[in-house]
Structure 1
Amino acid sequence: MFDPEELSALGKLYDSAVTALPPSMQTPENCTAIAKLILERTAAGDAQLACLTNLLITISPQG
């Protein structure tokens, strides 16, 4: 379904999302929910994934 480059980009997006959470919220349940959200938005199309990416960049502590 995804090529290696896409998987790498999605992995980076996932890592950024998890890192943006406070440590107390980095639970397995929240990590699973983030992964599902990213995959759902990816399946829904590039525009929704771009919106999610922009949100994560905004809230990321490295941003």
Structure 2
Amino acid sequence: MSDSLNKFVLLERIELISKIGGGDSFNDKDRQVALYWVGELAEQVKQMIIEKPLKSGSTELCGASLQ
């Protein structure tokens, strides 16, 4: 799986967990676990970005350069 796709998948998981964790059917322990998991996933994305930061004109930006 490509690096960009891995980042996208992790961000989608973070979004899903945050939406589910905000529901009324969760108790405090469930929310705590969901928040901890979101933190772990966010740390993974952060490490991916630090290892390979986007550069101006990167193909990951679809050819758009940063101004």
TM-score of the pair, normalised by structure 1: 0.36
TM-score of the pair, normalised by structure 2: 0.35
